[in-house]
Amino acid sequence: MKKLLTLLIICIATASWAQPSHAPLTKLLSKHVSAAGNVDYAAIKKDMGQLDAYLKTLETSAPTDKWTDNAVKAYWINAYNAYTLKMMLKHYPLKSITDIKYGEQSAWDYKWIKIGGETLSLNNIEHQKLRAKFKDPRIHFAVNCASYSCPILLNKAYEASTLETQLNTQAKLFINDSKRNKITADKIQISEIFKWYKDDFASAGSIINYLNKYSKIKIKSTAKVEYLSYNWNINA
């Protein structure tokens, strides 16, 4: 009886910090998202049950203080992307995520995500669970707002074991993507993400210093900086 009780306590303790598998999300994304980040919303809608099942695992497996930082970061990035997909599919077909309104609230402000006893919005996940906690600018290249000008949606889930490589790869892809940033040595026309979240990139000293960490073209410190208009059309 004592052994059984001990085993039960161990099982309960383990379950309290068990991490969900993100493999189901990878299976879904690899099937319906191209290498260029284009999402086949019509096709993925037919697999809504698979997405819902994955979201259910997130709802019942919230991060705990037993998790590593990379496990927590990967969890919330995946949650942001998966719940954004869910919201888009609920309203599909549509031209833009900006068309989604809940009264006066935007798609990002509406609280509907129930995780760990909290009811969250997409903004809560991005700004409180990710930006505020980790101070990692690369998060901006991983979370996807279902729009053309966003960094592309990776067609696999983020995993704690490969997160550093995945985030660095996403940073390089986005910064060197001529559809979203136009970079020369003397002039740069860059995404408004770098203006909206300029404080997040300030640790490098300047936006040019940050870009030069990943840019294939060496940008001069005197380069002229301009920002491109954001295209909110759906990333299909």
Q: pLDDT of 78-113, one tens digit each?
A: 999 999 999 999 999 999 999 999 999 999 999 999
Among 4-8, 54-58, 60-64, 165-169, whose mean pLDDT is lowest? 4-8
> Quick check: 171 pLDDT over 90?
yes
CA atoms within 13 A on the CB side of 92: 21
Question: Using 50, 70 and 90 to split pLDDT, how confident is the model at 6?
Answer: very low
- 12 Cβ contact list (under 8 Å, min separation 6): none
> Quick check: 12 pLDDT over 50?
no
Question: Residue 118 CA to chain centroid, in angstroms?
Answer: 19
Q: Is the distance from CB of 219 to CB of 185 less than 8 angstroms?
A: yes
Average pLDDT over residues 202-208: 94
> Quick check: 208 pLDDT over 90?
yes
- 228 Cβ contact list (under 8 Å, min separation 6): 149, 180, 181, 182, 189, 190, 191, 192
Percent of the chain with pLDDT over 90: 92
Question: Using 50, 70 and 90 to split pLDDT, how confident is the model at 14?
Answer: very low
Task: Provide the pLDDT for residue 17.
Answer: 64
- Compute CA distances 33 → 40, 83, 108, 177, 222, whole Å: 6, 15, 22, 18, 39
Total Cβ atoms within 10 A of residue 57: 14
> Quick check: 4 pLDDT over 70?
no
How many helices and strands in the chain, by DSSP H and E?
Answer: 10, 7
Encode 10-52 in three state secondary structure: HHHHHHHHCCCCCHHHHHHHHHHECCCCCECHHHHHCCHHHHH
Q: Is the distance from CB of 186 to CB of 220 less than 8 angstroms?
A: yes
Question: Residue 107 CA to chain centroid, in angstroms?
Answer: 15
Q: Average pLDDT of the chain?
A: 94
Which region holds residue 20: left if phi is over 0, alpha if psi is between -120 and 50, else beta?
beta
Cα gap 236→77, rounded to integer Å:
20
Task: Provide the pLDDT for residue 161.
Answer: 98
Task: Provide the pLDDT for residue 196.
Answer: 98
Task: Provide the pLDDT for residue 18.
Answer: 87
